[in-house]
Every structure is written in structure tokens, then in C-alpha cells.
Amino acid sequence: MDKKKDCSRPDVPNCSAKMQHTDKKLEQYLERQALSQRLGKIKHKVMVLSGKGGVGKTTVAVNLATSLSVLGKRVGLLDIDIHGPSIPKMLNLQGRTLQGKDETLYPILSGENLKVISIGFLLKSEDDAVIWRGPMKMGVIKQFLKDVEWGELDYLIVDSPPGTGDEPLSICQLIENADGAIIITTPQDIALISVRKSIKFCRELNLPILGVVENMAGLICPHCQQRIDVFKTGGGKKMAQDMKVPFLGSIPIDPKIVESCDDGTPYVYKYASSETATAFGPMVKSIMNLDSKEGNRQSTGAGTEKCP
Ligand code: ADP
């Protein structure tokens, strides 16, 4: 055979490059298929985002997932906050390790119907730092989506890393038909500047915004009962109005939130009838409303801002 035409020969120019290209395309196709097979069993996927760290994004994600699971929903909570995975601690699941078989990973169960996956379950110790470059992070995020056997779920709540960098971008691109994002901010200008970026990020990616939550809005002094606006107040609501996105309410600073995060019992579970717990109501409702909006990305509807 003419050497030039024998494409099975690695020494023939262009051929191995061509084959590599085809292999890559096949790999991507199989990957997409595996992703849509796994994620197809999940009715609704909701991202919890924030412009910056420390505003209570994980706290809100944990309490939202717990509220939904207490209401009898089948819930998954995916922690892809690779550099600060605090979900195992907040749900008292430290020391648990992921079990796997034949390229399948099984989530850890918290309570009866809350399934949890966190990078924290892969670390030997809570003190271990993840020092990974972009492709490794992308690889683990992909694996968490592709290889985790979530089973049938009503909701998957994704606790994304803060900001608008590689990891939030990867997850938003990998979950192609996510129902929307809840964006957490604190009321002060510094946080609001970055949350505007998160809103623009969602719009760029055509990810519907379910709403903005203002966390750490005011503290009631336990001694004099006067309100102290530690990080100002009302900024989140005003920003939501300016940016034309739904506002899902304010959560006050409550020392019991810190305590419940630290002892691993979600606040909404431990203090279910408190005033602060009721602040989570509109967020839970906005997620449960998705049930009446199947195929949300193709539809419009109250409580969901559609991207232009
Ligand atoms: P993020 O995920 O945005 O980095 P976290 O959810 O980890 O933030 O919260 C950071 C800290 O703030 C935690 O110790 C948590 O207990 C505390 N926290 C969050 N929201 C509140 C609140 N409303 N009142 C008091 N403490 C809070």
C-alpha cells in the first residue's frame, strides 16, 4: 500500500493527529452522554453563588438543602468549594470517606434523604489544603457530576466556589440545563460590587437568576434588643431592584447560626420555629416553584428572572 495513504501507520503525516482529534471528539461525546445520563435523573439543579467568600453562601446552601429534605424532598448537595469545603463540618460528616465501585462514587447520606458530595470527603485531614491547578480542579468537578450515583433526586443544590473564576464557570457549563442560581451577598458596598459581577456572569451564561439573598443583615443586641447594622442593611434589596432581579429576603446575623454551623446541626433544623429560620422560606419557595415550571430554561414565570 502507498505509505502516504496508509492512515493506520503512525509515521504517516497528519494521520495520527487526525486520529487523536477523532478520539478526543469521541471522548467528549461519551463524556456528555455520561453527564446527561446521570444528571437526567435529577429534576432540578440550583447553583448557590456569591461574588466573594465569607458571605454565608455555604451556610445558605446547607440550610436550603436541609429545609427541602425535611419537607420530604429527595435532595443532593454538591460541594465544589474546592479550597474551602466546609459542608462536611456543617453537617457533622467529618471523617467520612466516599465509597466507590467501577467508576461510580456513592454520596454520603445525611438524615433520611439528603445526599452529600464534597471534596472534603477526599481529604485525609480537615487541615489538608488542596493545591491543584485548573485542569485537576476541572477533572474532579467533572468526576463529581459524571461518576456520582445520585439516583433519582428532586433537587440538586450546588455550593459553588465564590467569584466568577474557573470553577463556577466549569460547573455552570457542565450542568447545561441548570434551573437557576441563588446569589448570596452581604449588605455592604464591597460585597455588592462583586455580586453585580455574579449577576452579569449568570446573564453571560444564560443561567436564570432565582434571586438574591442578603445575609448578615443586622444584629439584634442580646442585651438592649436594639438592632446593630454591622454590615449596613438594605443594600442587597436595592441592588436587586437596580439589577432587576428578584429579591428573596434578608437573613440577620444570628450567633446561633455560627453555633449550629460549628456543631454540625443545620440552623433551620435546630431552631425551626425561630424568626431567622423563617427567613429561608422565600428561598425554599422559589426552588419548590420550579416544580410548576418544568423546563424552566425555555419558560418564563414569576420569581425567575430570565436572561435577555
Ligand atoms: P461562604 O460560603 O460564603 O464562604 P460560610 O457559609 O462558610 O461563607 O460562612 C462563613 C461564616 O459565617 C461561618 O462561620 C458561618 O457560621 C457564619 N455565618 C453565615 N451566615 C451567618 C449569619 N446570618 N449570622 C451569623 N453567622 C453567619
DSSP letters spanning 15-83: HHHHHHHHHHHHHHHHHHHHHHHHHTTEEEEEEEEESSTTSSHHHHHHHHHHHHHHTT--EEEEE--TT
Strand partners, 78: 117, 158
Domain ranges (residues) in the chain: 42-297
Closest Cα to atom 26, ligand 1: which residue?
258
Supply the pLDDT for residue 308: 34
Residues in the chain: 308
pLDDT in tens, 231-250: 888 889 999 999 999 999 99
**Overall average pLDDT of the 74-97 stretch:** 92
Taking a C-beta distance cutoff of 8 angstroms, is the pair 289, 303 a contact? yes
- What is d(CA 119, CA 138) in angstroms, rounded to the nearest whole number? 12
Give the position, in ligand 1's atom list, of the atom nearest the Cα of 219: 24
Q: How does residue 12 score in pLDDT terms, banded at 50, 70 and 90?
A: low
pLDDT in tens, 99-109: 888 889 999 99
CA of 216 to the centre of ligand 1 (A): 8
Question: Is the pLDDT assigned to residue 7 strictly greater than 80?
Answer: no
Q: Three cell numbers at 7?
A: 492512515
**Overall average pLDDT of the 20-26 stretch:** 79
**Overall average pLDDT of the 61-83 stretch:** 95
Taking a C-beta distance cutoff of 8 angstroms, is the pair 162, 52 a contact? yes
Q: What residues are in contact with ligand 1 under a 6 Å CB criterion? A: 50, 53-59, 86, 215-216, 251, 253-254, 257-258, 261
Closest Cα to atom 19, ligand 1: which residue?
56
Closest Cα to atom 13, ligand 1: which residue?
258
Closest Cα to atom 16, ligand 1: which residue?
258
Of residues 271 and 20, the one with the higher pLDDT is 271
The structural architecture, per CATH, of the domain 42-297 is: 3-Layer(aba) Sandwich (3.40)
CA of 142 to the centre of ligand 1 (A): 27
CA of 266 to the centre of ligand 1 (A): 12
Q: Shortest CA distance to 166 belongs to which of 142, 146, 192, 185?
A: 142
Give the position, in ligand 1's atom list, of the atom nearest the Cα of 276: 23
Query: pTM value?
Result: 0.88
